[in-house]
Amino acid sequence: MSAFVMNNKENIKTLIIKKPLKLDCGQTISDYPLAYETYGSLNENKDNAILVCHALTGDQFVTGLNPITKKEGWWSYAVGPNKSIDTNKYFVICANVIGGCMGSFGPNHFDQKTKKIYGTDFPVITINDIVNAQVNLLDHFEINKLFSVVGGSMGGMQVLQFVSNFPERTKTAVPIACTSSHSAQNIAFNELGRQAITADHNWIDGKYSSKNIVPDKGLAVARMAAHITYLSKKGLQEKFGRKLQERDDLKFGFDADFQIESYLRYQGSVFVDRFDANSYLYITRAMDYFDLVKQFGGNLSNAFKNTKAKFFVISFTSDWLYPTQENKDIVIALNAIGANVGFVEIESDKGHDSFLLDVPDFLEALKNFLDKSYIE
């Protein structure tokens, strides 16, 4: 039986988007669901809204208790009353990306034409498509201009694409630990994950839902491989080193002798309970296809030439997945057109995941930027 079932629909706010959206792959979609969540209150002037864009395995449940997984929201450290993104002050909106598996239009949805679940017949989507779908939420709330658009990792890619597509629709932009195009190394890691999923005999060319099974082994391995890239060598060494897992000595077998093995296996096993394998294929594909440099004829600056938004780019010292230099390249492109841009590299040994964790310097920098920009 599939471990991932959308059976708590009453806890998911969904907007049906009537407006047709032409996808980059050439197909057009309409009357599709966009699942979202909001925090805080929209003020009378409608100028306190922040669009938070989630990363690969995130969803719309940014903070507080996720009603589906019953776990804390993925950005509870940063979003909430009196936190960096203060929900007493700001109206926070987050949409589940199209292609996702928390209520938005994705591969586990029913195709009205074929009367079957889409699976891999779902159209291939891009970051551009994701952003063009999300903007419908602003129209729904009648928000002409956001105060800010904020996101880390794949969320940061969406921030860059949003400002490029809708240069007048946000006052500020905060891309965190991201890049303007995926490197060969990043594509390689994503491909490793996709191959793990498609090699699982339960995948059945993406049609596993019809058989009530799930490629859980492949998806777990994909998560394990990806999870390593979110950490740092120093962080792993300090946390685990060569410590053994609940044993005094090596067992001379293939059980988890080391704590790090047990930790990775656990990360893989809990992931399959909350994520859809086909969604993993589609969203990693969207990340790999993201190339704002190519989109603008080899000149990244041209992506931002029409915006007056104030940027704040944030990177982390130990992030080797989206290293500081790739974040600096965004700053350089913005400087080249005289854009208003600030940049900070945060010292942290927590790797790429630093933006999701309790890193006080980061949380303070984010809060200061937003609060100061809000009163300007």
* Residue 4 clears pLDDT 90, i.e. is over it: no
316-329: average pLDDT? 98
Matching residue, tokens 């920009």: 373
Q: CA–CA separation, 176 vs 170, rounded Å? A: 16
Q: CA–CA separation, 80 vs 132, rounded Å? A: 27
* Residue 2 clears pLDDT 70, i.e. is over it: no
Catalytic residue (choose from 59, 129, 276, 319):
319
| pLDDT, mean over the chain | 95
Model confidence at 10, pLDDT cuts 50, 70, 90, reads: low
* Residue 44 clears pLDDT 70, i.e. is over it: yes
Torsion sign, CA atoms 23, 27, 28, 32: negative
Q: CA–CA separation, 119 vs 74, rounded Å? A: 26
**For the packed helices 154-165 and 127-140, what is the interaxial angle rounded to 10 degrees?**
70
What does CATH list as the number for 9-183+291-375? 3.40.50.1820
pLDDT in tens, 236-284: 999 999 999 999 999 999 999 999 999 999 999 999 999 999 999 999 9
Q: CA–CA separation, 359 vs 34, rounded Å? A: 31
Matching residue, tokens 């940063």: 78
DSSP three-state, residue 314: strand
Catalytic residue (choose from 76, 104, 153, 232):
153
Model confidence at 1, pLDDT cuts 50, 70, 90, reads: very low
In the annotation, is 262 catalytic?
A: no
- 342: alpha, beta or left? (left if phi > 0; alpha if psi -120 to 50): beta
pLDDT for the residue numbered 112: 87
Q: How far separated are the first and last CA of the chain, in Å rounded? A: 54
pLDDT in tens, 330-355: 999 999 999 999 999 999 999 999 99
Cβ neighbours around 233 below 10 Å, total: 12
pLDDT for the residue numbered 265: 96
pLDDT for the residue numbered 86: 98
Model confidence at 9, pLDDT cuts 50, 70, 90, reads: low
Matching residue, tokens 């989630």: 54
Angle at 48 between CA 42 and CA 53, to 5 degrees: 95
Q: What percent of the chain has pLDDT over 90?
A: 96
What pTM was computed for the model? 0.96
In the annotation, is 227 catalytic?
A: no
In the annotation, is 319 catalytic?
A: yes
DSSP three-state, residue 265: helix
For 187-283, give the CATH class: mainly alpha
Angle at 222 between CA 278 and CA 155, to 5 degrees: 70
Domain boundaries, the chain: 9-183+291-375, 187-283
AA letter at 207: K
Q: CA–CA separation, 216 vs 219, rounded Å? A: 5
Matching residue, tokens 């991932």: 4
pLDDT for the residue numbered 376: 81
How far CA 211 is from CA of 123, 204, 214, 252, 325, in Å, comes to 21, 9, 9, 38, 46
pLDDT for the residue numbered 7: 38
How far CA 317 is from CA of 234, 345, 349, in Å, comes to 11, 6, 7
